[in-house]
Structure 1
Amino acid sequence: MKIYLAGPLFSNAERGFLDTIAARLRAEGFEVFVPHEQFAEQKFMRSDGDSTADEVYAVDLAGVMGANAVLAWLDGTQVDDGTSVEIGIFSRLAAQDPARYKGIIGLSTDMRVARRKGLVPADGINLFVVGAIRASGEVVWSVDEAVAALIRLRDRP
């Protein structure tokens, strides 16, 4: 099963965490599309238009459409805007072809969110984003839970 790994990728720490998750998923036998692996880092730092928004959109959209599931990292004071778009696109794909597009797993490891768990609707994560995730998947609270949820999606008939 091919996983699209969505999440913020704008700092070394963010890319490092996504790389760690990707390595774990690959060790579990998943094929993983990681957006920041698709472009040389220097392209994102240039101001001469070497890497255009159109190019990034085309490559990432192909990654989303080529995946069977999305693992979306939700940490932060709000869900990353690009991650939200990826969730929205995949949510519609999963609704239209659930045999091909198995679902979305939202991963929150942020203690600011975990403190609200069960206290407020959607645990304080944007309601529309959580609704899109839950339409075909679930929100989990650790990488171990995310792997287990993806295995369930993979093994679902």
Structure 2
Amino acid sequence: MKKIYFASPLFSDMERLYNEMVVAKIRETYPEFDLFVPQEQMGINDKNAYADAKTIAKYDTDALLNSQLVIAVLDGTSIDVGVATEIGVAYQAGIPIVGLYTDSRQQGATNQKKLDALQELAESQFSYINLYTVGLIKMNGIIVDNLEDLIQEIA
């Protein structure tokens, strides 16, 4: 059975609900895959309870290293630090990574007004994503910009 690790921020309602929607679509499409979702691991992620840093790190890293694929949600003001760490561990272990980056500011890359605005201080119309982390993904995987492409890449 193919094991997939789902790396995503998980601390706000918005993040958790988005994760639930994405995970439900993956499970609906690939019921034969075993999907590890950290936010579902209440033994270590119940924020009303307590798990120390080493317990969390060991639990999630063991699950990640036992996976054949990592899905990494890259959306947000910046890539979530936990997700970036998981990407680094997956890269080092040689586990393929599919990054999901849906930021709509990437649209219009040929719009001349948006390109001209890059010459003005603080007027970029595009989002920024950490290039080191992106490079790790691209050296051992792919980045997609929508859920449909993510579903296809999982296969």
TM-score (norm. length: structure 1):
0.79
Q: Which residue is equivalent to 2:91?
A: 91
In the alignment of these two chains, the number of paired residues is 138
The answer on 1:145 being equivalent to 2:145 is no
Amino acid corresponding to residue 19 of structure 1 in structure 2:
E
Match of residue 33, structure 1, among 23, 33, 36: 36
Indicate the SS of the match to 1:106: strand
Q: Which residue is equivalent to 2:15?
A: 14
Match of residue 131, structure 1, among 128, 135, 143: 135
Within a 5 Å distance, the mapping from 1:56-135 to structure 2 comes to: 56-94=56-94, 101=95, 103-112=96-105, 114-115=106-107, 124-135=128-139
Q: Deviations over 1:43-102 (max 9, x none)?
A: 3245xxx221111111111111111111100001210000000000000111xxxxxx3x
Amino acid corresponding to residue 137 of structure 2 in structure 1:
I
Q: Are the structure 2 counterparts of residues 145 and 55 from structure 1 closer, same or farther at C-alpha, using a change threshold of 3 Å?
A: same
Unpaired segments ≥5 residues, structure 1: 95-100, 152-157
List 4+ stretches of structure 1 deviating above 6 A. Answer: none
Once the two structures are aligned, what percentage of the paired residues are identical?
33
Q: Deviations over 1:9-40 (max 9, x none)?
A: 00111111111111111112222100011125
**Aligned-partner Cα distance in 1 for 2:61–2:45:** 21
Indicate the SS of the match to 1:64: helix
From the CA coordinates, give the structure whose radius of gyration is larger: 2
Indicate the SS of the match to 2:97: strand
Indicate the SS of the match to 1:148: helix
Q: Are the structure 2 counterparts of residues 117 and 52 from structure 1 closer, same or farther at C-alpha, using a change threshold of 3 Å?
A: farther
Contact kept? 1:25, 1:31, Cα under 8 Å = no
Indicate the SS of the match to 2:42: coil
